[in-house]
Amino acid sequence: MTDEPNATRRALLQAAAGTAVAGTAGCTAVTTPADTSVRSEVRGNVRTFVGPSWLTDRDRDEIAVIDARERDAFRRERIHGARHVALEALTTRRDGDGGLEPDPSEIAAGFAGIGVAPDDDVLVYGNSVGSRVTRVAFALAYLGHRGDVRILNGGVDAWTGRIGTGTPDEPEATEYEADPVDDLVATRRWLADEADRFGEDAPDSLVDVRVPEAYLGAAGSDALDPDHQRHGHLPGAINVHWLGNVSGTRLQEPTRLARLFFAEAGLEEEETVVVYGDDNVDPTQTWAVLRALGFEDVRLYEGGFTEWANVPEDDRGGYPVETKTNVVIETDGDLGGEDGGDFSCTG
């Protein structure tokens, strides 16, 4: 089935949005699709994240719209003309000389299969601005994507334009020749070699995005992964849980994000900042936010704490784990739309 305008609930609500508000004076609980769309417009000095008007103001034939949600959600309802990409295709890794790193050929094949070429301008969306969406943006950046890449603030619920339903025609595949940007990735060996940079002299350059209980290695906590042989965090890391970047389906206000990372976390734009979680999906949300705020050198530790914690016992002296260097920045975000990427609460 090809994309068709949706004549069900969303279209009816959109058509009735003006009268619905007028007819419910004093009822503050009523929220229309138009309200959601307006609230999702991005204001402030933030790059990458855009509101729905960014897409409506452009020629749709010139934008590759990528849906990062589960395939069932994509089939039920999506932005008209969107293409679905499987998260698994963009998280593949290989064993490099320094540890786990992204697999550029496999990731490039994931984009080629949905007809995305290196020069295409891209809009990525999900149910929210969660880490499933930002992993897509990171994967494109890592491949050296030359086109513009934007993330839809507010997710699919912010979109009030044409909607598609059912199973669409498969997009025509293209070729995607990767030109990997290695400086976007930190490997286990690189971190070990650079350990002095993330010690007492620069504790604010290494950001652990997991929940505080995982960062602290809190004994008995459900946040601790039972498959980890050690618990805690990388030496010198501070903790800023990635959900602090998000308010429901939308990005936190830019002023709040700036205060969180500049004033509270003490990060500086000219520093090399490395973000990590348990795996290689959730940290990309913080990676994207820092880049949007103007940080130029932000790297993802692709192997994550899972790789670091489980190095062979004979090698652990070179890859220590701490629990005592505890710098936890309190956050108050929440995620709407089930767009967490690692499918756990620990990130």
Summarize pLDDT for 5-51 with one digit per residue, the tens.
443 333 332 333 332 333 323 333 334 555 666 666 755 557 899 99
Where is the domain boundary, 98, 133, 164? 164
pLDDT the model gives residue 47 = 82
In a domain, 327, yes or no: yes
Q: Are residues 298 and 206 in the same domain?
A: yes
Is 109 in the same domain as 208? no
What confidence score (pLDDT) does residue 333 get?
Answer: 77
Rg (CA), the chain: 21
Of the candidates 259, 225, 265, the residue with the CA atom closest to the CA atom of residue 346: 225
d(CA 347, CA 345): 6
CATH code (residue 257): 3.40.250.10
Same structural domain, 136 and 199 = no
Question: Considering the chain, what is the average pLDDT of its residues?
Answer: 85
292 occurs within a structural domain: yes
pLDDT of residue 44: 54
DSSP label at residue 98: T
Please check whether residues 194 and 233 belong to one and the same domain: yes
Q: Bridge partners of 274?
A: 206, 299
321 in a domain, yes or no? yes
Note whether 113 and 236 are same-domain residues: no
- 299-318 core/surface letters (b: 16 or more CB in 10 A; e: else): bbbbbbbbbbbbbeeeeeee
pLDDT at 347: 31
In a domain, 98, yes or no: yes
- How confident is the model at residue 29, as a pLDDT? 39
CA distance 193 to 263: 28
The series of mean pLDDT values per 10 residues for the chain, 347 residues long, is 40 32 32 58 73 90 96 95 96 96 98 97 96 98 97 94 91 96 96 76 76 95 95 95 94 93 93 96 97 95 98 93 91 70 37
Distance of alpha carbon 6 from alpha carbon 204, whole angstroms: 48
Written as six digits, the tokens of 37 are 């769309």
Assess if residue 22 is contained within a domain: no
Helix/strand/coil for 20:
helix
Is there a domain that residue 126 lies in?
A: yes
Bridge partners for 93 per DSSP: 102
Last residue of a domain, one of 120, 135, 164: 164
Give the H or E element holding residue 225. Answer: none
With H, G, I as helix, E, B as strand and everything else as coil, classify residue 338.
Answer: coil
Domain extent, residue 204, equals 182-334
Residue 105 and residue 197 in one domain: no
